[in-house]
Amino acid sequence: MNQDKPSFFAELKRRNVYKVAAAYAIVGWLIVQVATQVFPFLEIPNWVVRAVIVLVAIGFPIALIIAWAFELTPEGLKRTEDALTKRRSKSHVWIYVIVIAALFSVGLFFAGRYTAPRLQQSVAATGPGKSIAVLPFENLSDDKSAAYFADGIQDQILTKLASIADLKVISRTSTAKYKSKPEDLKIVAQQLGVANVLEGTVQKAADKVRINVQLIDAHADSHLWAKTYDRDLRDIFAVESEVAQEIADSLQAKLSPAEAKTVASAPTKDTEAYDLFLKGEFEHRAANSNFRADTFEQAARWYRDAIARDPNFALAIAQLAICRVRQHWLTDPLSESELAEAGQLAQQAVTLAPDLADAHVAMGAFHYYGFRQYEPALTEFQRALKIQPNNSSALQFIAAVYRRQGKWNAALEEWKRAIDQDPRDANIASTMAETYLVLRNWKDAEEMARRALSIDPHENIGVHVLLLSALHRAGKIEEPLRLLVSLPSNDLPIPNTGTYDMVIGSRAEILVLARDFASASKGWETAAAATIPERQRFAAKAIIQILNGDVAGAQGDAEEARELLEVRVREHPQDIRSLRALSWVYLALNRKTDALNVAQQTLGLLPPERDAFLGADNLAGLAEMQAQTGAVAEAVKNLSRLLSMPAGDRVSIVRLKIDPVWDPIRNDPEFQQLLMMKEHIGP
């Protein structure tokens, strides 16, 4: 006997349509909750959220139709009529799926509803959220010469923040390029790679000081925290510590006990000594920009005055040591006794404050600048970075050490970290560009040089690298000549490390490569050239004449330079630039043996085995002098070695073809064979 045909609703139940509808609703709601509650915090666009909701809605009727027509069985998807005849005993799996999905969805809803603000704050405080740039503080004092004080307060707050490993703190070198209150904070934050910006003003009158600071979420352009401090000058250290602690709290940065101690500490108890120290810092920063010996000396005087008031002022002692060895490296070399004194200062700073990052930077700089002792220098810089994770100076030094050691990949990685820490420092970008140039990576060298010059069009190394990388990319001199016209023409770049360009400078080098010797010589008659020491100016003009084939015409300038250079070398026997110039001066005076001996002496001071960066330049300098004096076989041998090692700033196939320095051996068969070599590219 036939059973009555089941009703429509009974059929829905029999075909599991109700179960599918319930499960789809729960799971669909779960998906919508994830999209609406979580996607915004991951910065996924709203259109994606809307698309998810629409797809879930469209899928509902489709799921019901499929549930009516088909059923999932252990043997696979089958038509419902066939599956019903083989259906196993009733299972409760569907119930479990629905209950678990429902509980999960409800939990996600309440988590999103009641913890969204907290979640948002947590997301903002991790990764980019825990990043900050401290912009220059505006000086509101009636005495405008008190700008050093506002700069100093900003710098010390930044230094305290740099001690916190949980924060990303942009170096002062990058932030110094901005106004105290820029018009568009979002652009500033984007350029610096930070989420938060600190602005401030400082007003100093007699023994009173008012400091106003405000922490801003640059992305939302909203204030996170602001405060005004009216204090006696003697309380200035407490203000700096309070500001740093408030910022750390606002950004939910975790401080270790050692970091908390550093943030709360004061460098000295003597406010007058601190004021003198800030004047020294202000002058020291100027010296690092203008490379003037008298500016370094003025900075040193301020530091000494501060130390005279507080002999235990470790930070001032460390900065005095750094100031002295930087002057030794960048301007006039110190005497042996002066250099020894700088080392004693660095050691004193470490002894007084072993947990002071600047003290270890000072000791490392003494080893690096004073004696090129790279391993002990590296140890000190790494200690400094461990103490103060955001110490940009230590990071740059580490990269420089690796480059000197020939650890090219490690150097590039550290330069990248340094750029992240200090994205608006043109010197870092140009130094990294120079490293690419040495490795004959012309494309990356040019790109990084352009980045440096976009920050500072007058950046000396950036100009040098841009011109030479363009030469190698294009394979002809017309491209760097075109660029030379577009670069600032009101200054003569300081000569770079290298061969003859170490004396004549980047601009004259390109003109010489183009064989425009008249313009190259004219460049050394400008007002800018007048700021260069006479010994170098006379030597530069003599070298250009020699490269033009006019050795007799070079003798007048060479004789003017000779005595000055000989005195200089007697007083500073390791001054490589003066030795390089003296070698060429002897060549102009037809003292070929002396010229070769001085070039060999220079290489002996710093061969490639001791310094992979400058040592290769010294080897190239010797090869130049060998080519000029007729030692053809020796010159070719050294050039072959240079082509097989990182030395792209000095020797390359393109440059060998056009550089007039190789004209005396250009037709030699062995030299011509060099042009067929495959030059070393990369680390």
CA–CA separation, 157 and 212 (whole Å):
13
Identify which of 138, 129, 183, 137 has the alpha carbon closest to the alpha carbon of residue 156: 137
Domains of the chain: 8-124 (no CATH), 127-255 (3.40.50.10070), 267-420 (1.25.40.10), 427-491 (1.25.40), 517-674 (1.25.40.10)
State the Cα–Cα distance between residues 318 and 338, nearest whole angstrom: 15
The whole-angstrom separation of Cα 178 and Cα 677 is 48
User: What's the pLDDT score for residue 115?
Assistant: 45
- Of 8, 324, 289, whose CA–CA distance to 173 is shortest? 289
Helix H or strand E encompassing 76: strand 76-79
131-134 vs 196-205, strand pairing mode: parallel
> Which amino acid type is present at position 473?
R
Output the pLDDT for position 413: 95
Pair 494, 531: CB distance under 8 Å: no
Given a contact cutoff of 8 angstroms between Cβ atoms, the answer to whether 569 and 581 are in contact is no
Strands 131-134 and 168-169: parallel
Indicate the angle between helix axes 271-290 and 293-309, nearest 10 degrees.
Answer: 170
> Would you say 566 and 547 are in contact if contact means Cβ atoms under 8 Å apart?
no
Q: Residue 506: its pLDDT value, please?
A: 84
Two tokens, residue 575: 């001054």
Of 227, 68, 70, the C-alpha closest to 157 is 227
One DSSP character per residue, 185-231 reads HHHHHHHHT-SEEEEEEEEEETTEEEEEEEEEETTTTEEEEEEEEEE
Q: What is the 3-state secondary structure (H, E, C) of 233-290?
A: HHHHHHHHHHHHHHHHHHCCCCCCHHHHHHHHCCCCCCHHHHHHHHHHHHHHHHHHHH
Question: What tokens were used for 421?
Answer: 């820490």
Q: Rounded CA gap, 666 and 304, in Å?
A: 56
Contact yes or no for 599/569 (Cβ under 8 A): no
Q: Which of 563, 564, 561, 552 is nearest to 588 (CA)?
A: 552
**What pLDDT was estimated at residue 121?**
40
Q: Give the pLDDT of residue 120.
A: 40
* Distance, CA of 476 to chain centre: 31
- How high is the mean pLDDT in each 10-residue block of the chain (683 residues)? 55 61 70 62 56 73 66 53 49 50 51 43 47 89 81 87 90 82 83 89 86 86 84 86 89 89 90 92 86 90 97 97 93 88 97 96 96 95 93 93 96 92 89 95 95 86 90 91 78 58 88 94 79 88 96 95 94 88 96 97 94 93 96 97 94 95 96 93 86
CA distance 98 to 105: 10
SS3 166: coil
